[in-house]
Amino acid sequence: MRRTLLLSAAVLAGLALPAAADPQSLTLLSMNMWGAGANAQKPIDETVAVFKAVNADIIAVQETVPEPDPCTAEVCQATENSRLKDLADALGYHYHEFKHNTDNHWADGVLSKYPFGQETPNGVGVEIDVNGRKIVVYSMNLDDAPYQPYQLLNIEYDKSPFIKTAAEAEEWASKTRGKALELLVADIKAEEAADAQFVMGDFNEPSHWDWTENAVKAGHQPLAVNWPTTRGVEAQGFVDTFRTAFPDEVAKPGMTWTPTTSPDDKEDHHDRIDFILAKSKELKVISAGIVGEKAPEADLVVTPWPSDHRATMAKVAF
């Protein structure tokens, strides 16, 4: 009886129950920089201006170096220096550059207001200390060839055959990016103890949330496809921050590819292939949007625009 009374007193005094941690909010940005603008002979200041306009806490970047010519599935070796350190210096951020230019990745990095820890076991992500909480960020630039939307729409891009069905698209997507997904999932599982994980980047593959029957009826997509990469990441407990904020794929398509061609260009197909996918036990998506060259395609307009992709942003709490 005495032990029970003492325990009750301790609970009432707040000694036995630790205080709940305050929610941590983060503003995130993911951008394929097109060689930090260098592929279009743009000054690096234009990319810096995008980052300053968003004022993100953590920025996943792809194409930190100019893409060489030629760049094929067999050979795509950088011939110039990375722009990532210059970007970090301009912002006053920490930076981490991944060394993998294999396994379907190309020139990825992360900029952060918070200090970095170690890389994930397969080197596709990096830990960050956010006020004592461990988060893991993956910056992904997955293989763009074969590109299944072009295969389906008979648009010449590489030597891959044209295809007709959703099943063929899913099969080709798995062959193209399956190894990268396998390594990513292994690292996600290895980092289960993290307070939050964020998979960001240019997947070079659309989302299963966008290629739906409703999108087909609206004329946005040629057919419904269960794209395997986004579906595979979400199977690990992640949510698509943009689709969480904007669940109607017809009213808000969120096209990130591409501001360099018109929507009716017969040699292209506009789509959402850049993502911020998030996972945490207490995750809340506060807002999301597209950053680009003009409205209504972009929720935040920055001109001049330095890339052939629009960027995607999100604010989350966990």
Q: Report pLDDT for 14.
A: 43
Over residues 170-180, the mean pLDDT reads 97
Q: How confident is the model at residue 11 (pLDDT cuts 50, 70, 90)?
A: very low
Residue 292 has pLDDT above 60, yes or no: yes
Over residues 91-119, the mean pLDDT reads 86
Contact 194/179 with Cβ under 8 angstroms? no
**Buried-exposed string 107-119: b where 16+ CB fall within 10 A, e elsewhere:** bbbbbbbbeeeeb
Contact 83/65 with Cβ under 8 angstroms? yes
Over residues 25-53, the mean pLDDT reads 93
Domain 23-317 has CATH 2.30.29.30: no
Domain boundaries, the chain: 23-317
Residue 309 has pLDDT above 80, yes or no: yes
Average pLDDT, the chain: 90
Q: Report pLDDT for 111.
A: 98
Over residues 132-161, the mean pLDDT reads 96
Q: Report pLDDT for 67.
A: 73
C-alpha atoms less than 13 angstroms from C-alpha of 213 in its C-beta half-sphere: 0
Residue 301 has pLDDT above 60, yes or no: yes
Task: For CA atoms 238, 242, 245, 247, give the dihedral sign.
Answer: negative
Task: For CA atoms 71, 105, 150, 256, give the dihedral sign.
Answer: negative
* pLDDT above 70: percentage of residues in the chain: 87
In 202-310, where does DSSP find H-type helix? 213-217, 228-234, 241-245
Express each pLDDT in 183-194 by its tens digit. Answer: 999 999 999 999
Express each pLDDT in 201-246 by its tens digit. Answer: 999 999 999 999 999 999 999 999 999 999 999 999 999 999 999 9
Residue 70 has pLDDT above 90, yes or no: no
What distance in Å separates the CA atoms of residue 188 and residue 286, rounded to the nearest whole number?
Answer: 23
The C-alpha R_g of the chain, in whole angstroms, comes to 21
- The CA angle 137-142-148, to the nearest 5 degrees, is 140
Task: For CA atoms 116, 129, 101, 93, give the dihedral sign.
Answer: negative
What distance in Å separates the CA atoms of residue 141 and residue 127, rounded to the nearest whole number?
Answer: 18
Q: How confident is the model at residue 22 (pLDDT cuts 50, 70, 90)?
A: confident
Within 10 angstroms of residue 106's Cβ, the number of other Cβ atoms is 24
What distance in Å separates the CA atoms of residue 120 and residue 26, rounded to the nearest whole number?
Answer: 21
**Buried-exposed string 120-139: b where 16+ CB fall within 10 A, e elsewhere:** bebebbbbbebeebebbbbb
Q: Report pLDDT for 40.
A: 84
Question: What is residue 135's three-state secondary structure?
Answer: strand
Q: Report pLDDT for 99.
A: 79
Residue 69 has pLDDT above 80, yes or no: no
Q: How confident is the model at residue 5 (pLDDT cuts 50, 70, 90)?
A: very low
What distance in Å separates the CA atoms of residue 178 and residue 73, rounded to the nearest whole number?
Answer: 15
Question: What is residue 234's three-state secondary structure?
Answer: helix
Lowest mean pLDDT, pick from 43-52, 91-100, 206-215, 229-238: 91-100
